[in-house]
Structure 1
């Protein structure tokens, strides 16, 4: 074999061996990147989409170009603080995760997706398959109110949580947070204002009731989010 061919063969062998050596590192880096992207768009407590993930899902829907109106559901658990005070934050998080699974299942049943926005607040983004918004909202209210049964450290607990639900219709091209989610937010506060454990449908011209205000995430949630994105 001539010297040039030997040099080429040696270079190819070195390149192949180098590639085999680097492959585990490349795979680890790719897995870390995948995990980092997942964490940016998912809630660390429930595994659901977070606010950023839901916004991304809406953007994907809008980019499809063929999407029509969408249904936005905003769900706020009623008086969840006593549940945390009674059972502790760890069990409280387990209850939030159990409620989140119910919300996710309902959203999936309607061909949509769900998210935990913060604290005890969730949202769902659904395609319009039925004009009966009241029925959809009632489904969320009824299933959330079913008792949650958990076993933690061998100790069974049962907790009952209710929710106030706001539901709104918007065009998929409407700004998500400024229009679609805002409408559902206003409707949710009307449900909260009229007794809780119920729902309200957004109507054109509906305004935020007196006393309605947006809460911030729990300190515990902010810490978990910071740790996940650090």
Structure 2
């Protein structure tokens, strides 16, 4: 929501003052976040502030090149000034989206993974539009800027609701979907597969000998292992289409929409090998490099046409993998469909 104020700063203040405004806003944000959460890394706030400062300078450059260094001049220039302001807004939006990419933990492979969905971008664009209206109000009649606050609060509330909804579907320990969140996604994928006559796959992934890890290194280190395995699985599958869930304990489930029988084996083996390659430093300064998983697979519709049937089939294949010696992938026979 800071764009409402930083873009207004670009349109009303010299670039250096707009940068100073950004620094003040993010300093306040850092203090408030630290006071409430005490877990937001300082480098993240500094990085975000620097990105916004660069956006401000770029948008200010567009205004200067367009012959309207501030909003008052843009208003005097009529439609040409209006076009300059709109272009500055668009440049601010684009530069922001591009500069964020190198700061991310993982860079996706699709446009949605890279830049977010339509709802995310529409929200950002809406805050920039409010920033422009805020600047217009401040330039003409400062008291009218108060009218920007109600829609800003509504937008902020909408963002918080979305974040709470997302948090309610996530496992707090691993960041993967919880049982409710994963089932909700899987039901939608099943409905689409029935409607469009497509296929999808389900993987049941179980961490081998997890009890001995807890017994040997303690439950806190066991939590680190679970988080590392969940992160590894999530990094191995597709960022946007696939969904990794935790079904409790050391068992994970992976939803693979639009996948073939041949490809599900490739994905399962890639997950197994990725977990096998994990080297995790525990709190006791011990490096754990002997992790493995057993995986059972099931394909819709050949292994079942109901979600629970697919889960049961993948779970049965998982137990066959564990009975056969663990650290392997076992597929559900196609004859088990029902």
CA shift, 1:140, in A, is 2.1
Of residues 39, 48, 60, the one that matches 2:176 is 48
**Counterpart Cα distance in 1 of 2:241 and 2:267:** 12
Query: What TM-score, normalized to structure 2?
Result: 0.49
* Correspondence for 1:89: 219
Larger helix fraction of residues? 2
- Write the deviation string for residues 68-102 of structure 1: whole angstroms up to 9, x where unpaired: 11111100111101112222222211111111111
Of residues 276, 294, 306, the one that matches 1:145 is 276
CA shift, 1:171, in A, is 2.8
Query: What TM-score, normalized to structure 1?
Result: 0.70
> Judging changes above 3 Å, is the alpha-carbon distance between structure 1 residues 133 and 38 closer, same or farther for their aligned structure 2 residues?
closer
- Within a 5 Å distance, the mapping from 1:28-107 to structure 2 comes to 29-64=157-192, 65-66=195-196, 68-107=198-237
CA shift, 1:33, in A, is 2.4
> Judging changes above 3 Å, is the alpha-carbon distance between structure 1 residues 135 and 29 closer, same or farther for their aligned structure 2 residues?
closer
CA shift, 1:135, in A, is 3.3
Of residues 240, 247, 250, the one that matches 1:120 is 250
Question: Relative contact order (alpha carbons < 8 A, sep ≥ 6): 1 or 2 greater?
Answer: 1
Contact 2:224 2:282 in 1 (8 A): no
Aligned length in residues: 191
Contact 1:169 1:180 in 2 (8 A): yes
SS at match of 2:196: coil
**Counterpart Cα distance in 1 of 2:286 and 2:236:** 26
* Correspondence for 1:186: 316
Contact 1:106 1:140 in 2 (8 A): yes
SS at match of 2:246: strand
Which runs of 5 or more residues in structure 1 are unaligned? 1-15, 207-230
* Correspondence for 2:306: 175
Contact 1:166 1:188 in 2 (8 A): yes
SS at match of 1:118: coil
SS at match of 2:272: helix
Larger strand fraction of residues? 1
Pairing 1:165–2:165 present: no
Q: CA-atom RMSD, angstroms?
A: 3.1
Pairing 1:135–2:266 present: yes
| Larger Rg computed on CA atoms | 2
**Counterpart Cα distance in 2 of 1:27 and 1:93:** 36
